[in-house]
A and B are shown apart, each in its own frame.
Chain A
Amino acid sequence: MTDTPKTVSELFISRFGDSVTIGATQSGIMSLDIDVEHWLKVCRALRDEEDFSYEQLTDLCGVDYLGYGQSEWETEQASSEGYSRGVVGNLGPGRFDWADRPEADQVEQRFGIVAHLLSFKHNKRLRIQCFAPDEGMPIVPSLVEIWNSVNWYEREAFDLFGIVFEGHPDLRRILTDYGFTGHPFRKDFPLIGNVAVRYDSRKKRVVYEPVEIESRVLVPRVIRSDSRYKTDDVDLAADERAEELAANELASPEHTGSPETN
């Protein structure tokens, strides 16, 4: 953590040129988008070259970007339209069953691979990301030759997202059951099952039935860009009030152990 992010990003650009795109830096970890064609080459350089020496791959996971940024609740023109603010036709996770699962639109860059690298030498982390070129059959080269730890992580991403890792020695399912079909962490995979299994005492055998429970989620998915961050006067006033309350509470001795919060 000796270099400032500026110089580090310059280092990446000067070394890898167009094959990488520098993303945002959050909490000291920089994001690096790598072209899938250069995925192996760049990763090998990240491990072997003195300037980077990311010796360890700590984590790798798949991300399904289907439905990114979609909400189920209208927040823009709320006050004039009363209560009917639910967005029609857009079903978030947990709101559909297998039969009604949404048809995935052609989303460009739907499946991403995100890995976190760690350099013991420089005490630095890096997030690298690439997108599978074809979302119908996402294929990405496997990193297993570069970092052996990726073996099971790639199996997991294959199992849960159906991303195929080219060159992986043993790409079997890992977390789901033997003989499972589908890739459960995709956004178009329902949250609950559609078949219930029980023992019927009259028929004296195990029966399979459609589930009676309706798919439902109690809290709609809401995206708000307003009000949460100290942007307007109302918020600042609320914060002041909170601080005032806090000061009062500290002043009075009987409130040292704060009461239950909800």
Chain B
Amino acid sequence: MSSLPQSTQAAQKQTEMAEIRNYTMNFGPQHPAAHGVLRLILEMDGETIVRADPHIGLLHRATEKLAESKPYNQTVGYLDRLDYMSMMCNEHAYVRAIEQLLGIELPPRAQWIRTMFDELTRFSNHLLWIASCGLDLGAMSMFIYAFREREMIMDMYEAVSGARMHANYYRPGGVYRDLPESMPKYKETPWTKGKDLKRRNEWREGSLLDFIEAFAKDVSSKIDIYETLLTDNRIWKQRTVNIGIVSPERAVQMGFSGVMLRGSGIEWDLRKKQPYAMYDQVDFDIPVGVNGDCYDRYLLRVEEMRQSARIILQCVDWLRKNPGHVMLKNFKIAPPTREEMKDDMEALIHHFKLFTEGYCVPAGETYAAVEAPKGEFGCYLVSDGANKPFRLHFRAPGFPHLAGMDEMTQGHMLADVVAIICTLDLVFGEVDR
């Protein structure tokens, strides 16, 4: 062979190589950094993302359709399983929608308990976020530290509702029961005894409120530890600063809410702007970002944890001073207690009707939104006057955030996708519903 055809061959081979430069990559659904079941189809140019196409729905359980076949109260439990990192905030949006249509007023103590548990939920969500995000970006110890504190909040959930995670605690008309007077304590085991046992039970001697207060007072020192580990950490900053920048205009246009919106410099928090529960009576600040990158969103979440602790302490203070009812005393909506049923025929009838049929909600439609840890969690409810919702739709904050994924990742490297996914703070229970 002469040398000429050979060189043409080589040139041809090179152009072929150039043509197949863009390739597609499958990220997930079984990927530790996908935060659940996200399947991401990435079109790549070398290490650079050209297009990201998230495929969702692997956790779709048709919660909204299931709710149409059940009386209102039986759906509360499903709400915990939507965003399973911020259980009570989801319940809050749903029960608020029902309360709006029923036109009922809650006892103030119930509102304060809801405010407190919403903040505890925000705290626990952000703890889990900082833990898993740290893990994804190479800060393993964050995971251990944050889970240590999160366990306390799980204990609070358990003390008040009986379940560590899926609390099913909020009800239309209030909350299921009042805060308990005592906390369960650790028992002596071969591994926990003596001084260690005493240290573990130190906060648990009093009531739940004492426990929460001790936790909230102590926790800012714990947040300082997290910040020591991350805020000025060179690797952390290299992975997050200037990654996934969202301009304020785009954040609004793409339907972002919560930290994703505030990180881009828009001061918008439903707790301040459209207050619900007792948020207009507590004192707290809303941190706002400047650059709209992953690092700003990290700083915001850390600051939100500190603010949550502030709110929790104010709630504890109020709840200590003001005993009272935690459930509306209207037997048409809220069930009577066991004791009332034992000596009152009316109460027994009401109880029977409530648990066999439920209550009818007046025809109409409403939208109730709460500032969930991840953003605006809304509940759109259409009632035709029956004991079951006609149509229920949840506006999950993660859904538009993930929809903005394509735009946020374009031009970034593959490793940055992980950083962006984690600062979106996704949970597929709510994205897929």
**Measuring CB to CB, which residues of chain A are less than 8 angstroms from any residue of chain B?**
24, 26-27, 29, 31, 55-59, 61, 63-64, 68-69, 71, 92-94, 114, 116, 120, 123, 125, 127, 147-153, 173-177, 184-185, 191, 217, 219-225, 227-229, 235, 238-239, 241-243, 245-246, 250, 256-262
Contact A92-B337, Cβ < 8 Å, known A56-B252, A175-B57, A256-B178: no
Distance between Cα atoms of A198 and B26 in the complex (Å): 29
Which 4 pairs show the lowest CB-CB distances between chains A and B?
A149-B255, A175-B57, A59-B395, A94-B69
Q: Is the CB of B332 within 8 A of A260?
A: no
Q: Is the CB of B332 within 8 A of A26?
A: no
Q: Is the CB of A148 within 8 A of B253?
A: yes
Q: Is the CB of A31 within 8 A of B365?
A: yes
Q: Is the CB of B384 within 8 A of A219?
A: no
User: Which residue of the partner chain, among B62, B64, B395, contacts A58 with CB atoms under 8 Å?
Assistant: B395
- Which residues from B are CB-within-8-Å of A123? 273-274
Binary per-residue interface labels of chain B (22-44) against chain A in the complex, 1 for a CB within 8 Å, 0 otherwise: 00000000000000000000000
- Which residues from B are CB-within-8-Å of A24? 364-365
Contact A219-B357, Cβ < 8 Å, known A225-B385, A261-B335: yes
B276 to chain A, nearest CB (A): 10
User: Which residue of the partner chain, among A26, A57, A221, A242, contacts B387 with CB atoms under 8 Å?
Assistant: A221
A-B CB contact pairs (8 Å), 25 listed: A26-B364, A27-B366, A27-B367, A58-B255, A59-B380, A61-B380, A61-B391, A69-B363, A92-B69, A93-B65, A123-B274, A152-B400, A191-B69, A219-B71, A223-B385, A238-B332, A239-B330, A241-B344, A242-B330, A258-B178, A259-B177, A260-B337, A260-B338, A261-B334, A261-B336
Distance between Cα atoms of A173 and B364 in the complex (Å): 30
B72 to chain A, nearest CB (A): 11
Distance between Cα atoms of A220 and B387 in the complex (Å): 9
Q: Is the CB of A257 within 8 A of B181?
A: yes
Chain B stretch 316-336: residues in CB contact (< 8 A) with chain A: 323-327, 329-332, 334-336
Q: Is the CB of B367 within 8 A of A125?
A: yes
Q: Is the CB of A58 within 8 A of B257?
A: yes
Contact A222-B360, Cβ < 8 Å, known A176-B60, A258-B337: yes
- Which residues from A are CB-within-8-Å of B273? 123
- Which residues from B are CB-within-8-Å of A94? 69
Q: Is the CB of B385 within 8 A of A238?
A: no
B356 interface residue (CB < 8 Å to A): yes
Q: Is the CB of B339 within 8 A of A262?
A: no
Distance between Cα atoms of A184 and B268 in the complex (Å): 35
Chain A interface helix/strand/loop/mixed: loop
Q: Is the CB of A261 within 8 A of B344?
A: no
Contact A261-B362, Cβ < 8 Å, known A175-B56, A185-B62: no
Q: Is the CB of B337 within 8 A of A261?
A: yes
Q: Is the CB of B367 within 8 A of A61?
A: no
- Which residues from A are CB-within-8-Å of B340? 245
User: Which residue of the partner chain, among A173, A257, A259, contacts B338 with CB atoms under 8 Å?
Assistant: A259
A52 to chain B, nearest CB (A): 15
Contact A262-B351, Cβ < 8 Å, known A116-B367, A238-B331, A241-B344: yes
Distance between Cα atoms of A250 and B327 in the complex (Å): 13
- Which residues from B are CB-within-8-Å of A120? 252, 266, 268
Q: Is the CB of B365 within 8 A of A235?
A: no
Q: Is the CB of A222 within 8 A of B65?
A: no
B376 interface residue (CB < 8 Å to A): yes
Query: Which residue on chain A has the smallest CB distance to residue B382?
Result: A63
Q: Is the CB of B65 within 8 A of A185?
A: yes
Q: Is the CB of A29 within 8 A of B367?
A: yes
A252 to chain B, nearest CB (A): 11
Q: Is the CB of A184 within 8 A of B386?
A: no
Contact A219-B356, Cβ < 8 Å, known A29-B367, A229-B362: yes
